[in-house]
Amino acid sequence: MRITPVKGLLALFMLWTGHSQAANVTCRIPDSRPAQFNEYTFNGFISAGHELPVGTMLYSAKVSTDYVLECTSPDNSAVGTAFDIPNSYEFISIPTRLVPGILDVDGNNVYETNVPGIGVSVTTVFGPPGVGIGSFPMEVKYLDKWVSNKNYTVYYIRLIKTGPVSPGVVNAINFPQVQRVFDTPTAPADVNFSGFPIRHSSTKFNGTIQIVESTCKPEITDMVVDLGSHEVKDFKRENGYFGTPWKDAILRLKDCQLRGYYGSQSFFGPSAEVPGEISQPDPHFRNKIGLSVTAMSSLIAGYNYTMALTPSPNNATGVGIQVRLYDKNGFLSGIPLDGKEIISVPPPPIDTQSIEYHFIARYVAISDVITPGKANGAVVYTLNYY
């Protein structure tokens, strides 16, 4: 009669021991959705100004790739077990050298391209290679069956200004190539996982992105504006000044390369959801032109936007030359004559190649006494491109 409890205790102990044995899970790339060799083709065109600072992002595209894994418990010991598969990405080819001291906008490494002054980074929103790129959940739900799950990775390809921009054609075949890596899960601790690491589906690039340096040509390099011959009675009071009628001085720029660039990652920027050609919408960052005007004679204190006459024998006295500019809204505005830069009117639509600056100039009285004579002046304009 005393033996029965002992047998019952032994049976319970043996049952508990069997339950403590580790479960087994194995994972793989399914034959029905094998690893892919994804290839994306660029066909881009951007213009970049010489004055854009080093580190500026000139182009940003995103491409999406999907991945399928399947898992099972070969001995059905892990049915009902849920787990997360850690994953990251890695470079499988880096054809060019690292650009020292230059990072992209998110702090990722930048590599040389075949065009001087232009580098490239390939990354995800999670960071550089080796950093986890989100969860890949899985659960072994059924006896004697493989269970699959699907996930995506979005890669960002960015061109970064690394030095003086050289016009040329960037060949995307020199961009780093990447693939996703799935590592052994670390939990649950009582599960033995096999099949890892799994390297899944490479992504590489080809095609070209043309880089054009943004420039314009003046229609007339040295422009002469005739302010006319005047008598003292021609000086009329206007806005606190006595001056002659305004004369137009139109600076026309032609053959402008101002298409623009992709200065930030945009939902509407270049992208591809499946392997193939990357879309090329219009750039959302248009090039700008910085304009500065420098008088070749001294500025007259107390008289806005007014310079002295060019020194010469037989000059008139008591007058200066005032210069102003119509702004982008058609309003008359002042323009510094000391070489300080002002930003241009908005660039023209992409399908046009010209810009106009509408200057006006006149004589103004700077003294109660005006004597006749020559009254010439000159300014030098400088264009900077961004």
What is the SS3 assignment for 12? helix
| Nearest of 180, 181, 179, 174 to residue 205 by alpha carbon | 174
Strand locations in 49-86, DSSP E? 57-72, 82-84
Whether residue 180 is found in the same domain as residue 307: no
Q: CA 299, CA 308: separation in Å to the nearest integer?
A: 6
Whether residue 190 is found in the same domain as residue 323: no
Q: CA 170, CA 118: separation in Å to the nearest integer?
A: 8
Residue 186 CB contacts under 8 Å (≥ 6 apart), including other chains: 86
User: Does residue 158 fall inside a structural domain?
Assistant: yes
Domain count across the chain: 2
The enclosing domain of 35 has a CATH number of 2.60.40
* Band of pLDDT at residue 267, cut at 50, 70 and 90: low
Q: CA 219, CA 253: separation in Å to the nearest integer?
A: 6
Average pLDDT, the chain: 90
Q: Which of 213, 235, 258 is the last residue before a domain boundary?
A: 213
Q: Which of 213, 236, 260 is the last residue before a domain boundary?
A: 213
Say what the pLDDT of residue 352 is: 74
What is the SS3 assignment for 233? helix
Q: Which of 213, 243, 266 is the last residue before a domain boundary?
A: 213
pLDDT over 80 (residue 189): yes
Q: CA 45, CA 149: separation in Å to the nearest integer?
A: 38
Whether residue 169 is found in the same domain as residue 233: no
Whether residue 265 is found in the same domain as residue 346: yes
What would the pLDDT profile of 58-73 be if each residue is shown by its tens digit? Answer: 999 999 999 999 999 9
Share of the chain above pLDDT 70, in %: 93
Whether residue 230 is found in the same domain as residue 200: no
What would the pLDDT profile of 1-17 be if each residue is shown by its tens digit? Answer: 343 444 444 343 333 34
Q: Which domain holds residue 77?
A: 23-213
User: Tokens in use for 384?
Assistant: 């900077």
Whether residue 223 is found in the same domain as residue 196: no
What would the pLDDT profile of 75-132 be if each residue is shown by its tens digit? Answer: 999 999 999 999 999 999 999 999 999 999 999 999 999 999 999 999 998 888 988 8
User: Does residue 307 fall inside a structural domain?
Assistant: yes
Whether residue 165 is found in the same domain as residue 309: no
Residue type, 67: Y
Residue 164 CB contacts under 8 Å (≥ 6 apart), including other chains: 50, 116, 117
User: Does residue 65 fall inside a structural domain?
Assistant: yes
Contact at 8 Å (CB) between 272 and 64? Answer: yes
**Residue 18 host element (H or E):** helix 3-19
| Nearest of 296, 308, 304 to residue 336 by alpha carbon | 304
- 45-59, 267-281, 367-381: the lowest-pLDDT one: 267-281
Whether residue 209 is found in the same domain as residue 250: no
Say what the pLDDT of residue 240 is: 86
Whether residue 198 is found in the same domain as residue 298: no
Q: What angle do CA 217, 306, 340 make, to 5 degrees?
A: 50
User: Does residue 2 fall inside a structural domain?
Assistant: no
What would the pLDDT profile of 303-323 be if each residue is shown by its tens digit? Answer: 999 999 999 999 999 999 999
Whether residue 354 is found in the same domain as residue 378: yes
Please, is 75 exposed, middle or buried when counting C-beta atoms within 10 Å of its C-beta (0-12, 13-18, 19+)? exposed
Share of the chain above pLDDT 90, in %: 72
Whether residue 182 is found in the same domain as residue 260: no
Residue 263 CB contacts under 8 Å (≥ 6 apart), including other chains: 56, 57, 58, 60, 284, 285
